[in-house]
Amino acid sequence: MPRLVMKFGGTSVANVDRIRNVARHVAREVAAGYEVAVVVSAMSGKTNELVAWVKDANPLYDAAEYDTVVASGEQVTSGLLAIALNKDGIKARSWQGWQIPIHTSEAHGSARIEGIDPKNLDEGFKRGEVAVIAGFQGVHAETGRIATLGRGGSDTSAVAIAAAIGAERCDIYTDVDGVYTTDPRVVPKAQRMERVTFEEMLEMASLGAKVLQVRSVELAMVHRVPTTVRSSFDPPDAARPGTLICDEDQIVEQQIITGIAFSKDEAQITLRAVKDSPGIAAAIFGPLADANINVDMIIQTVSGDQSTTDMTFTVPAADYERSRAILDAQRETIQFGQIEGATDVVKVSAIGVGMRSHAGVAAKAFRALAQKGINIRAITTSEIKFSVLIDAAYTELAVRTLHSLYGLDQA
């Protein structure tokens, strides 16, 4: 029998009534002839509540005990869904990450999946059971301790399990009915895409789209697991197909630009009058890397006499103050004149595999933004995307301008 993994997020299992609705979605796929594994998140808001309890008990908490507490949210949901399925006459049992087992690294709170042994799940399928799996968690083989995968980790759990059991596809159920060309709250004319490539979805997820967690898309791409984003709020007997994330060769007609993403989690730092000498970039970015601060856009402008340079780059907004403090501490080593910064900036990106075979795609955008009076602070490009850093006040105007420019209003 073909196998299918279904993942349901926190809003989809927010209460018992919604869990009953999830059971009906699962029943539809069982009736269609699939062996089904269901991965569930904690009920909406429960993880935040558990985290707050941990911090209240001790702000300097032990990371392993933190994982023990926060992993319990998914345990509750998996048990409740198994009970609901059994009530509807469908054989089901719940599984915690350590019972399967899902082996992870020991990085509590942000562990990575290192391997999954599907033997126990295979035995359950032979018994005709639906496997209801607690997402977001696994076990470290050496210590035997529960380890969680970080926020959004249930998506990663689902894709990894789909790869391990050889599933036909992985369906991610959420509160939207697919992946849109941009955020519909910003552009009402945004269109739901029928298909999008793994590469495009990975760029969109990393550049601000909140539909899927980045690591889950990486896993889907590496293991070539077709993944569909669907709505759990559709009637179970009339569910829409959603958006399929797949290989490029499965998309017959490819647009130049597939989607527009934006991220408000950006801050800009500029170092003025930096001595222009070998090793200066390492002196700037090395300490930031040691502090696990991700640097994104980088622009270097050399002075006329080529003795000094201005270095501009972006960091996550949450790391802005820490980054400035680290650089100030390195002032004598780096030998810069002054440090400037801004947090009222936004990164807007256009993504599309069609850019590989078309010239002038980014230049077209730069002209359109200039005509709207939008100043570009920084630019980065890659094979299938370009990003611009602009003032936050122009976010909606820039997104709408690019969305219309590339014909996505009628996609």
By C-alpha distance, which of 172, 282, 309, 147 is closest to 231? 172
What is the token pair recorded at 392? Answer: 């936050």
Rounded to an integer, what distance in angstroms lies between the CA atom of residue 195 and that of residue 248? Answer: 9
Compute the CA torsion angle 390, 395, 397, 398 (nearest 10 deg).
50
Strand partners, 338: 272
The residue written with tokens 């998506």 in the block is 155
Residue 391 marked in a binding site: no
Residue 354 marked in a binding site: no
- N- to C-terminal Cα separation, the chain: 36
Residue 210 marked in a binding site: yes
Residue 8 marked in a binding site: yes
108 in Cβ contact with 153 (< 8 Å)? no
Residue 47 marked in a binding site: yes
Q: What is the CA radius of gyration of the chain?
A: 24
Rounded to an integer, what distance in angstroms lies between the CA atom of residue 127 and that of residue 224? Answer: 28
Residue 180 marked in a binding site: yes
Residue 208 marked in a binding site: no
Residue 194 marked in a binding site: no
Residue 175 marked in a binding site: yes
What is the token pair recorded at 43? Answer: 């009920």
Q: How many CB atoms lie within 10 A of CB 191?
A: 17
Q: State the amino acid at position 105 in one-letter form.
A: S
Rounded to an integer, what distance in angstroms lies between the CA atom of residue 217 and that of residue 26? Answer: 23
Q: What angle do CA 291, 293, 298 make, to 5 degrees?
A: 130
Residue 185 marked in a binding site: yes
Q: Which residues line the annotated binding site for ATP?
A: 7-10, 174-175, 180, 185, 210-211
Q: Which residues line the annotated binding site?
A: 7-10, 47, 74, 174-175, 180, 185, 210-211
Q: Which residues line the annotated binding site for substrate?
A: 47, 74
